[in-house]
Structure 1
Amino acid sequence: MSAGLTAPRRRDRALSAAEGRAFVREQLMQDRQDALRADEPPAASGRSADLAGPRSKARKTDPVLVVGSASAPEPSRRSRVRPEPAADPRWQWISTRETHRGKVRIDVDEVQLPTGERATFEVDRSVPFTVAVLVQDGADLLLARQYRYPVDRWIVDLPGGAGAFGEMPEQAARRELEEELGVVATELIPLHTFFANPGRSVWKTHLFFAPGVREGRASADDPSEKVQLARMARVDLDQLLIEGEIRDPALLIARTMAAAKGLLPPVGS
Protein backbone atom coordinates (compact mmCIF):
# COMPACT_ATOMS: atom_id res chain seq x y z
CA MET A 1 0.00 0.00 0.00
CA SER A 2 1.27 3.47 -0.77
CA ALA A 3 2.52 5.24 2.30
CA GLY A 4 0.00 8.06 1.93
CA LEU A 5 -3.10 5.86 2.04
CA THR A 6 -5.27 6.00 5.14
CA ALA A 7 -7.75 3.25 4.33
CA PRO A 8 -9.41 1.82 7.48
CA ARG A 9 -8.37 -1.63 8.68
CA ARG A 10 -10.44 -4.37 7.05
CA ARG A 11 -8.19 -7.35 7.50
CA ASP A 12 -10.87 -10.04 7.46
CA ARG A 13 -12.76 -9.04 4.34
CA ALA A 14 -12.20 -7.88 0.78
CA LEU A 15 -13.02 -4.45 -0.53
CA SER A 16 -16.56 -3.60 -1.55
CA ALA A 17 -16.98 -2.32 -5.10
CA ALA A 18 -17.09 1.29 -3.92
CA GLU A 19 -14.11 0.78 -1.62
CA GLY A 20 -12.23 -0.90 -4.45
CA ARG A 21 -12.73 2.04 -6.75
CA ALA A 22 -11.68 4.51 -4.05
CA PHE A 23 -8.65 2.43 -3.09
CA VAL A 24 -7.38 2.16 -6.66
CA ARG A 25 -7.89 5.88 -7.26
CA GLU A 26 -5.99 6.75 -4.07
CA GLN A 27 -3.22 4.30 -4.91
CA LEU A 28 -2.85 5.77 -8.39
CA MET A 29 -2.77 9.32 -7.05
CA GLN A 30 -0.03 8.35 -4.57
CA ASP A 31 1.96 6.61 -7.30
CA ARG A 32 1.72 9.71 -9.48
CA GLN A 33 2.92 11.90 -6.62
CA ASP A 34 5.82 9.51 -5.98
CA ALA A 35 6.67 9.53 -9.69
CA LEU A 36 6.83 13.32 -9.67
CA ARG A 37 9.11 13.30 -6.63
CA ALA A 38 11.28 10.61 -8.22
CA ASP A 39 11.80 12.78 -11.30
CA GLU A 40 13.01 15.79 -9.30
CA PRO A 41 16.72 16.54 -9.73
CA PRO A 42 18.86 14.74 -7.13
CA ALA A 43 20.32 16.65 -4.21
CA ALA A 44 23.62 18.40 -4.77
CA SER A 45 25.74 15.35 -4.17
CA GLY A 46 27.29 15.01 -7.62
CA ARG A 47 25.19 11.94 -8.47
CA SER A 48 23.28 11.76 -11.73
CA ALA A 49 19.53 11.04 -11.87
CA ASP A 50 20.25 7.42 -12.75
CA LEU A 51 22.23 7.06 -9.51
CA ALA A 52 19.69 8.78 -7.31
CA GLY A 53 18.77 5.51 -5.58
CA PRO A 54 16.41 2.56 -5.84
CA ARG A 55 13.27 4.61 -5.11
CA SER A 56 13.63 6.81 -8.19
CA LYS A 57 14.33 3.79 -10.37
CA ALA A 58 11.40 1.80 -9.02
CA ARG A 59 8.92 4.58 -9.80
CA LYS A 60 9.75 4.86 -13.50
CA THR A 61 7.36 2.11 -14.57
CA ASP A 62 3.76 2.35 -13.36
CA PRO A 63 0.78 0.11 -14.20
CA VAL A 64 -0.91 1.00 -17.48
CA LEU A 65 -4.52 0.64 -16.29
CA VAL A 66 -5.79 4.02 -15.16
CA VAL A 67 -8.91 4.40 -13.05
CA GLY A 68 -10.74 7.72 -13.28
CA SER A 69 -11.23 10.49 -15.76
CA ALA A 70 -9.31 10.30 -19.01
CA SER A 71 -8.93 14.08 -18.84
CA ALA A 72 -6.97 14.04 -15.56
CA PRO A 73 -3.58 15.75 -15.90
CA GLU A 74 -0.70 13.38 -16.55
CA PRO A 75 2.58 14.12 -14.75
CA SER A 76 5.61 14.37 -16.98
CA ARG A 77 8.06 11.49 -16.55
CA ARG A 78 11.34 10.33 -17.97
CA SER A 79 11.41 6.67 -18.88
CA ARG A 80 13.55 4.22 -20.76
CA VAL A 81 10.71 1.88 -21.62
CA ARG A 82 7.53 3.97 -21.97
CA PRO A 83 6.61 6.22 -24.90
CA GLU A 84 5.90 9.85 -24.15
CA PRO A 85 2.58 10.27 -22.26
CA ALA A 86 0.90 11.99 -25.21
CA ALA A 87 1.54 8.88 -27.32
CA ASP A 88 0.49 6.49 -24.56
CA PRO A 89 -3.33 6.32 -24.51
CA ARG A 90 -5.03 4.82 -21.48
CA TRP A 91 -8.37 3.32 -20.62
CA GLN A 92 -11.13 5.22 -18.85
CA TRP A 93 -12.94 3.52 -15.97
CA ILE A 94 -16.75 3.62 -16.11
CA SER A 95 -18.05 1.24 -13.44
CA THR A 96 -17.21 -1.77 -11.28
CA ARG A 97 -19.26 -4.87 -10.51
CA GLU A 98 -18.12 -7.44 -7.95
CA THR A 99 -18.42 -11.01 -9.27
CA HIS A 100 -16.67 -13.09 -6.60
CA ARG A 101 -15.64 -12.58 -3.00
CA GLY A 102 -13.74 -15.08 -0.88
CA LYS A 103 -10.04 -15.18 -0.18
CA VAL A 104 -9.88 -13.93 -3.76
CA ARG A 105 -11.86 -10.88 -4.83
CA ILE A 106 -12.67 -10.47 -8.54
CA ASP A 107 -14.38 -7.44 -10.07
CA VAL A 108 -15.59 -6.80 -13.59
CA ASP A 109 -14.82 -3.23 -14.63
CA GLU A 110 -16.52 -1.55 -17.54
CA VAL A 111 -14.00 0.63 -19.36
CA GLN A 112 -13.78 2.86 -22.39
CA LEU A 113 -10.90 2.09 -24.72
CA PRO A 114 -8.87 4.77 -26.50
CA THR A 115 -10.86 3.93 -29.66
CA GLY A 116 -14.08 4.98 -27.90
CA GLU A 117 -15.36 1.41 -27.68
CA ARG A 118 -16.58 0.01 -24.37
CA ALA A 119 -15.32 -3.28 -22.96
CA THR A 120 -15.29 -5.26 -19.73
CA PHE A 121 -12.17 -6.36 -17.89
CA GLU A 122 -11.81 -8.72 -14.92
CA VAL A 123 -9.60 -7.31 -12.16
CA ASP A 124 -8.15 -9.02 -9.09
CA ARG A 125 -8.59 -6.71 -6.06
CA SER A 126 -8.13 -9.42 -3.44
CA VAL A 127 -5.68 -7.61 -1.15
CA PRO A 128 -4.16 -4.15 -0.80
CA PHE A 129 -0.62 -5.54 -1.30
CA THR A 130 1.58 -8.53 -0.54
CA VAL A 131 5.03 -8.87 1.02
CA ALA A 132 7.89 -11.38 0.95
CA VAL A 133 11.23 -11.52 2.77
CA LEU A 134 14.57 -13.01 1.77
CA VAL A 135 16.31 -13.91 5.04
CA GLN A 136 20.03 -14.35 5.62
CA ASP A 137 21.11 -16.18 8.76
CA GLY A 138 24.87 -16.43 8.88
CA ALA A 139 26.08 -18.31 5.82
CA ASP A 140 22.59 -19.67 5.07
CA LEU A 141 19.30 -18.38 3.70
CA LEU A 142 16.03 -19.12 5.49
CA LEU A 143 13.29 -19.98 3.02
CA ALA A 144 9.76 -21.33 3.21
CA ARG A 145 8.71 -24.73 1.92
CA GLN A 146 5.03 -25.40 1.43
CA TYR A 147 2.49 -27.20 -0.72
CA ARG A 148 0.87 -25.09 -3.42
CA TYR A 149 -2.42 -26.62 -4.49
CA PRO A 150 -2.89 -24.79 -7.84
CA VAL A 151 0.35 -26.32 -9.17
CA ASP A 152 0.01 -29.51 -7.07
CA ARG A 153 3.54 -29.54 -5.77
CA TRP A 154 5.75 -28.60 -2.84
CA ILE A 155 7.89 -25.59 -3.65
CA VAL A 156 10.55 -23.45 -2.00
CA ASP A 157 9.55 -19.80 -1.81
CA LEU A 158 9.76 -16.82 0.53
CA PRO A 159 7.90 -16.22 3.79
CA GLY A 160 5.26 -13.60 3.21
CA GLY A 161 1.62 -12.95 2.52
CA ALA A 162 -1.07 -10.31 2.25
CA GLY A 163 -0.91 -6.96 3.94
CA ALA A 164 -3.82 -5.67 5.98
CA PHE A 165 -5.68 -2.42 5.44
CA GLY A 166 -3.99 0.36 7.35
CA GLU A 167 -0.78 -1.67 7.62
CA MET A 168 2.53 -0.55 6.16
CA PRO A 169 4.52 -3.02 4.01
CA GLU A 170 7.38 -3.28 6.53
CA GLN A 171 4.92 -4.03 9.34
CA ALA A 172 3.30 -6.73 7.23
CA ALA A 173 6.69 -8.21 6.33
CA ARG A 174 7.73 -8.46 9.98
CA ARG A 175 4.40 -10.00 10.96
CA GLU A 176 4.38 -12.57 8.17
CA LEU A 177 8.01 -13.53 8.78
CA GLU A 178 7.41 -14.28 12.44
CA GLU A 179 4.07 -16.00 11.83
CA GLU A 180 5.46 -18.34 9.17
CA LEU A 181 9.07 -19.03 10.17
CA GLY A 182 9.08 -18.07 13.84
CA VAL A 183 11.90 -15.54 13.50
CA VAL A 184 12.10 -11.77 13.97
CA ALA A 185 14.10 -9.61 11.57
CA THR A 186 16.73 -7.44 13.25
CA GLU A 187 16.62 -5.21 10.17
CA LEU A 188 14.57 -5.04 6.99
CA ILE A 189 16.03 -3.57 3.81
CA PRO A 190 13.66 -2.80 0.90
CA LEU A 191 14.69 -4.78 -2.17
CA HIS A 192 12.13 -4.17 -4.88
CA THR A 193 8.43 -3.63 -5.56
CA PHE A 194 6.74 -5.34 -8.47
CA PHE A 195 3.36 -6.39 -9.83
CA ALA A 196 3.10 -10.18 -9.82
CA ASN A 197 0.36 -10.12 -12.48
CA PRO A 198 0.07 -6.62 -13.99
CA GLY A 199 -2.28 -7.90 -16.65
CA ARG A 200 -4.96 -8.72 -14.09
CA SER A 201 -4.14 -7.61 -10.52
CA VAL A 202 -3.92 -4.12 -8.98
CA TRP A 203 -1.82 -5.06 -5.96
CA LYS A 204 1.94 -4.86 -5.61
CA THR A 205 4.43 -7.20 -3.97
CA HIS A 206 6.97 -5.53 -1.68
CA LEU A 207 10.23 -7.46 -1.29
CA PHE A 208 12.57 -7.08 1.67
CA PHE A 209 15.97 -8.44 2.68
CA ALA A 210 16.63 -9.40 6.31
CA PRO A 211 20.40 -9.61 6.94
CA GLY A 212 19.87 -11.15 10.37
CA VAL A 213 17.16 -12.60 12.59
CA ARG A 214 16.50 -13.60 16.18
CA GLU A 215 14.15 -16.23 17.53
CA GLY A 216 10.45 -15.40 17.57
CA ARG A 217 7.24 -17.34 17.75
CA ALA A 218 5.45 -18.91 14.79
CA SER A 219 1.71 -18.44 14.95
CA ALA A 220 0.20 -19.43 11.60
CA ASP A 221 -3.17 -21.01 12.37
CA ASP A 222 -4.61 -21.60 8.89
CA PRO A 223 -4.68 -25.39 8.29
CA SER A 224 -4.29 -24.81 4.55
CA GLU A 225 -1.04 -22.90 5.10
CA LYS A 226 1.46 -25.25 6.68
CA VAL A 227 4.86 -23.65 6.22
CA GLN A 228 8.14 -25.45 6.85
CA LEU A 229 11.36 -23.56 7.46
CA ALA A 230 13.97 -24.52 4.87
CA ARG A 231 17.58 -23.62 5.72
CA MET A 232 19.70 -23.58 2.59
CA ALA A 233 23.23 -22.57 1.70
CA ARG A 234 23.31 -19.71 -0.80
CA VAL A 235 25.33 -21.73 -3.31
CA ASP A 236 22.71 -24.49 -3.17
CA LEU A 237 19.89 -22.04 -3.84
CA ASP A 238 21.87 -20.55 -6.72
CA GLN A 239 22.33 -24.00 -8.22
CA LEU A 240 18.58 -24.62 -8.04
CA LEU A 241 18.03 -21.25 -9.74
CA ILE A 242 20.47 -22.12 -12.53
CA GLU A 243 18.83 -25.52 -13.01
CA GLY A 244 15.36 -23.96 -13.26
CA GLU A 245 14.06 -25.62 -10.11
CA ILE A 246 12.92 -22.40 -8.41
CA ARG A 247 9.51 -21.37 -9.74
CA ASP A 248 8.40 -18.71 -7.26
CA PRO A 249 8.71 -15.23 -8.86
CA ALA A 250 9.24 -13.40 -5.56
CA LEU A 251 12.21 -15.62 -4.71
CA LEU A 252 13.69 -15.25 -8.19
CA ILE A 253 13.39 -11.46 -8.10
CA ALA A 254 14.56 -11.12 -4.49
CA ARG A 255 17.72 -13.16 -5.06
CA THR A 256 18.51 -11.18 -8.21
CA MET A 257 17.89 -7.80 -6.58
CA ALA A 258 19.92 -8.72 -3.48
CA ALA A 259 22.87 -9.36 -5.81
CA ALA A 260 22.23 -6.18 -7.81
CA LYS A 261 22.26 -4.11 -4.62
CA GLY A 262 25.41 -5.76 -3.28
CA LEU A 263 23.63 -7.42 -0.37
CA LEU A 264 24.54 -10.92 -1.59
CA PRO A 265 27.18 -12.12 -4.06
CA PRO A 266 26.17 -12.53 -7.72
CA VAL A 267 24.14 -15.63 -8.54
CA GLY A 268 26.41 -18.60 -9.13
CA SER A 269 29.53 -17.00 -7.69
Structure 2
Amino acid sequence: MPPSEPDPLEESPLESLPVYDGVLLKVRRDRVALPDGSVSVREYITHPGAVVVVAVLPDGRLLFERQFRYPLRRAFLELPAGKIDAGEELLACARRELREETGYEAGAWQYLGVMHPCIGYSDERIEIFLARDLTHVGDALDAGEFLEILTFSADEAVRAVMEGVITDAKTVTALFRALPELGLGISPVPA
Protein backbone atom coordinates (compact mmCIF):
# COMPACT_ATOMS: atom_id res chain seq x y z
CA MET A 1 0.00 0.00 0.00
CA PRO A 2 1.47 3.40 -0.94
CA PRO A 3 2.30 5.60 2.07
CA SER A 4 -0.14 8.29 0.92
CA GLU A 5 -3.15 5.98 1.18
CA PRO A 6 -4.85 5.54 4.55
CA ASP A 7 -4.48 2.13 6.16
CA PRO A 8 -7.90 0.39 6.06
CA LEU A 9 -7.11 -1.25 9.43
CA GLU A 10 -6.23 1.97 11.26
CA GLU A 11 -7.97 2.76 14.53
CA SER A 12 -8.35 6.46 15.32
CA PRO A 13 -8.16 7.77 18.89
CA LEU A 14 -11.23 9.65 20.12
CA GLU A 15 -10.18 10.12 23.75
CA SER A 16 -7.10 9.19 25.79
CA LEU A 17 -7.08 9.03 29.57
CA PRO A 18 -4.25 8.21 32.01
CA VAL A 19 -5.00 5.20 34.21
CA TYR A 20 -1.69 4.80 36.04
CA ASP A 21 1.47 6.93 36.14
CA GLY A 22 4.41 4.95 37.54
CA VAL A 23 8.15 5.44 37.73
CA LEU A 24 8.82 3.46 34.54
CA LEU A 25 5.45 2.54 33.09
CA LYS A 26 2.35 4.52 32.37
CA VAL A 27 -1.02 2.99 31.50
CA ARG A 28 -3.55 4.68 29.24
CA ARG A 29 -7.13 3.88 28.25
CA ASP A 30 -8.20 5.18 24.85
CA ARG A 31 -11.58 5.19 23.14
CA VAL A 32 -10.98 4.49 19.46
CA ALA A 33 -12.97 4.51 16.25
CA LEU A 34 -12.64 1.13 14.52
CA PRO A 35 -12.40 0.68 10.74
CA ASP A 36 -16.14 -0.10 10.51
CA GLY A 37 -17.06 3.08 12.41
CA SER A 38 -17.87 1.39 15.73
CA VAL A 39 -16.13 2.45 18.94
CA SER A 40 -14.01 0.33 21.28
CA VAL A 41 -11.55 0.72 24.16
CA ARG A 42 -7.79 0.10 24.02
CA GLU A 43 -5.67 -0.09 27.18
CA TYR A 44 -1.91 0.00 26.79
CA ILE A 45 1.37 0.71 28.52
CA THR A 46 3.58 3.55 27.36
CA HIS A 47 7.31 2.94 27.71
CA PRO A 48 10.30 5.24 27.04
CA GLY A 49 12.02 2.64 24.84
CA ALA A 50 15.18 0.64 25.36
CA VAL A 51 18.32 -0.68 23.70
CA VAL A 52 19.81 -4.16 23.51
CA VAL A 53 23.46 -4.86 22.67
CA VAL A 54 24.97 -7.90 21.00
CA ALA A 55 28.53 -7.49 22.32
CA VAL A 56 31.25 -9.56 20.63
CA LEU A 57 34.44 -10.29 22.55
CA PRO A 58 37.78 -10.44 20.67
CA ASP A 59 37.56 -14.28 20.65
CA GLY A 60 34.12 -14.12 19.00
CA ARG A 61 32.14 -15.07 22.12
CA LEU A 62 29.06 -13.02 23.03
CA LEU A 63 28.40 -11.33 26.37
CA PHE A 64 25.27 -12.39 28.22
CA GLU A 65 23.81 -11.52 31.60
CA ARG A 66 21.96 -13.70 34.05
CA GLN A 67 19.49 -11.48 35.88
CA PHE A 68 16.52 -12.08 38.17
CA ARG A 69 13.28 -10.72 36.72
CA TYR A 70 10.74 -10.14 39.45
CA PRO A 71 7.49 -10.34 37.41
CA LEU A 72 8.30 -13.97 36.48
CA ARG A 73 10.12 -14.71 39.75
CA ARG A 74 13.22 -16.24 38.14
CA ALA A 75 16.56 -15.45 36.55
CA PHE A 76 16.86 -15.13 32.77
CA LEU A 77 19.76 -15.19 30.33
CA GLU A 78 19.75 -11.92 28.40
CA LEU A 79 21.89 -9.69 26.27
CA PRO A 80 22.91 -6.38 27.89
CA ALA A 81 20.04 -3.92 27.64
CA GLY A 82 18.39 -0.98 29.29
CA LYS A 83 15.93 1.88 29.19
CA ILE A 84 16.54 5.02 27.15
CA ASP A 85 16.69 8.05 29.44
CA ALA A 86 14.72 11.18 28.48
CA GLY A 87 16.58 13.07 25.75
CA GLU A 88 19.28 10.40 25.46
CA GLU A 89 20.62 9.49 22.02
CA LEU A 90 20.25 5.80 21.12
CA LEU A 91 23.97 5.09 20.71
CA ALA A 92 24.79 6.93 23.94
CA CYS A 93 22.27 4.71 25.73
CA ALA A 94 23.77 1.56 24.20
CA ARG A 95 27.29 2.64 25.23
CA ARG A 96 26.11 3.48 28.76
CA GLU A 97 24.22 0.23 29.28
CA LEU A 98 27.07 -1.94 27.98
CA ARG A 99 29.55 -0.20 30.28
CA GLU A 100 27.30 -0.13 33.35
CA GLU A 101 26.17 -3.73 33.15
CA THR A 102 29.18 -5.58 31.77
CA GLY A 103 32.18 -3.32 32.34
CA TYR A 104 33.03 -3.25 28.63
CA GLU A 105 33.41 -0.40 26.17
CA ALA A 106 33.27 -1.00 22.41
CA GLY A 107 35.43 0.52 19.69
CA ALA A 108 32.99 -0.29 16.88
CA TRP A 109 29.21 0.04 16.87
CA GLN A 110 26.61 -0.99 14.29
CA TYR A 111 22.88 -0.30 14.41
CA LEU A 112 20.88 -3.42 13.46
CA GLY A 113 17.28 -2.22 13.67
CA VAL A 114 14.33 -2.09 16.02
CA MET A 115 11.96 -4.61 17.57
CA HIS A 116 8.57 -4.19 19.27
CA PRO A 117 8.35 -6.79 22.07
CA CYS A 118 4.70 -6.53 23.13
CA ILE A 119 2.61 -4.97 20.38
CA GLY A 120 -0.70 -6.06 21.89
CA TYR A 121 -0.39 -3.95 25.03
CA SER A 122 2.62 -1.60 24.87
CA ASP A 123 4.26 0.99 22.63
CA GLU A 124 7.73 -0.14 23.76
CA ARG A 125 10.46 -0.30 21.14
CA ILE A 126 13.91 -1.79 21.58
CA GLU A 127 16.75 -0.56 19.39
CA ILE A 128 19.31 -3.26 18.52
CA PHE A 129 23.07 -2.65 18.37
CA LEU A 130 26.11 -4.79 17.59
CA ALA A 131 29.26 -3.86 19.54
CA ARG A 132 32.79 -5.03 18.64
CA ASP A 133 36.38 -4.27 19.65
CA LEU A 134 35.55 -4.62 23.33
CA THR A 135 37.82 -3.47 26.13
CA HIS A 136 37.11 -4.28 29.79
CA VAL A 137 37.13 -1.14 31.95
CA GLY A 138 35.08 -2.31 34.97
CA ASP A 139 31.34 -2.32 35.57
CA ALA A 140 29.24 0.40 37.14
CA LEU A 141 25.97 -1.29 38.07
CA ASP A 142 23.02 0.82 39.12
CA ALA A 143 22.05 0.68 42.80
CA GLY A 144 19.87 -2.38 43.36
CA GLU A 145 21.04 -4.08 40.15
CA PHE A 146 22.51 -7.56 40.51
CA LEU A 147 23.61 -9.77 37.64
CA GLU A 148 26.15 -12.33 36.49
CA ILE A 149 28.14 -12.00 33.25
CA LEU A 150 28.48 -15.08 31.05
CA THR A 151 29.83 -15.72 27.57
CA PHE A 152 28.57 -18.00 24.82
CA SER A 153 29.67 -18.66 21.28
CA ALA A 154 27.03 -17.66 18.74
CA ASP A 155 26.33 -21.36 18.10
CA GLU A 156 25.88 -22.00 21.84
CA ALA A 157 23.53 -19.01 22.10
CA VAL A 158 21.43 -20.22 19.15
CA ARG A 159 21.29 -23.70 20.65
CA ALA A 160 20.16 -22.19 23.99
CA VAL A 161 17.32 -20.40 22.15
CA MET A 162 16.28 -23.55 20.30
CA GLU A 163 16.34 -25.59 23.54
CA GLY A 164 14.25 -23.02 25.43
CA VAL A 165 17.06 -21.96 27.77
CA ILE A 166 16.99 -18.40 26.41
CA THR A 167 13.40 -17.18 26.12
CA ASP A 168 13.74 -13.40 26.51
CA ALA A 169 12.22 -11.84 23.38
CA LYS A 170 14.68 -8.97 23.00
CA THR A 171 17.61 -11.37 23.31
CA VAL A 172 16.20 -13.86 20.79
CA THR A 173 15.39 -11.11 18.29
CA ALA A 174 18.71 -9.28 18.66
CA LEU A 175 20.69 -12.50 18.40
CA PHE A 176 18.96 -13.53 15.19
CA ARG A 177 19.29 -10.01 13.75
CA ALA A 178 23.06 -10.18 14.48
CA LEU A 179 23.72 -13.67 13.05
CA PRO A 180 24.42 -12.49 9.48
CA GLU A 181 26.88 -9.88 10.83
CA LEU A 182 28.62 -12.60 12.82
CA GLY A 183 29.15 -14.61 9.65
CA LEU A 184 26.74 -17.35 10.67
CA GLY A 185 23.93 -16.80 8.15
CA ILE A 186 20.38 -16.64 9.40
CA SER A 187 19.60 -20.32 9.92
CA PRO A 188 18.11 -20.94 13.37
CA VAL A 189 19.67 -24.41 13.51
CA PRO A 190 23.35 -24.47 14.53
CA ALA A 191 25.76 -26.51 12.40
TM range, smaller chain? 0.7 to 0.9
Per-residue deviation, residues 102-129 of structure 1 (Å, max 9, x unmatched): 22211111211122222221121131x1
Please tell me the residue identity of whatever aligns with 1:97.
L
Number of equivalenced pairs: 186
The answer for the alignment partner of 1:93 in structure 2 is 13
The answer for the alignment partner of 1:21 in structure 2 is none
The answer for the alignment partner of 1:148 in structure 2 is 69
Counterparts of 1:179 and 1:87, CA distance in 2: 42
Please tell me the residue identity of whatever aligns with 1:229.
I
Counterparts of 1:238 and 1:114, CA distance in 2: 41
Mapped pair 1:75 → 2:75: no
2:53 counterpart SS class:
strand
Native 8 Å contact 2:115 2:173 kept in 1: no
The answer for the alignment partner of 1:14 in structure 2 is none
Please tell me the residue identity of whatever aligns with 1:165.
A
The answer for the alignment partner of 1:234 in structure 2 is 154
Cα distance change of structure 1 residues 86 and 97 upon mapping to structure 2, 3 Å threshold: closer
Counterparts of 1:183 and 1:209, CA distance in 2: 13
Unaligned runs of 5+ in 2: none
Please tell me the residue identity of whatever aligns with 2:132.
P
The answer for the alignment partner of 1:222 in structure 2 is 143
The answer for the alignment partner of 1:206 in structure 2 is 127
1:188 counterpart SS class:
strand
Mapped pair 1:265 → 2:162: no
Mapped pair 1:246 → 2:174: no
Please tell me the residue identity of whatever aligns with 1:159.
P
Per-residue deviation, residues 156-182 of structure 1 (Å, max 9, x unmatched): 101111101211211111111111111
1:186 counterpart SS class:
strand
The answer for the alignment partner of 1:168 in structure 2 is 89
Counterparts of 1:239 and 1:226, CA distance in 2: 26
Native 8 Å contact 1:108 1:120 kept in 2: yes
CA-atom RMSD in angstroms: 2.0
The answer for the alignment partner of 2:113 in structure 1 is 192
What is the correspondence of 1:119-138 to structure 2 with a 5 Å cutoff?
119-127=40-48, 129-137=49-57, 138=59
Counterparts of 2:160 and 2:52, CA distance in 1: 19
Native 8 Å contact 1:106 1:126 kept in 2: no
Cα shift at 1:212: 2.3
Counterparts of 2:168 and 2:70, CA distance in 1: 14
**Larger RCO: 1 or 2 (CA < 8 Å, sep 6+):** 2
Cα shift at 1:184: 0.9
Cα shift at 1:133: 0.2
Please tell me the residue identity of whatever aligns with 1:216.
V
Q: What is the percent sequence identity of the aligned residues?
A: 25
Cα shift at 1:87: 6.2
1:265 counterpart SS class:
coil
2:96 counterpart SS class:
helix
Counterparts of 2:7 and 2:89, CA distance in 1: 35
TM-score where L is the length of structure 2: 0.88
Please tell me the residue identity of whatever aligns with 1:262.
E
More strand by share: 2
2:56 counterpart SS class:
strand
TM-score where L is the length of structure 1: 0.64
Counterparts of 2:25 and 2:143, CA distance in 1: 16
Give the ranges of 4+ consecutive aligned residues of structure 1 lying more than 4 Å apart after TM superposition: none
Per-residue deviation, residues 74-107 of structure 1 (Å, max 9, x unmatched): 834xxxxxxxx55623111122211112222111
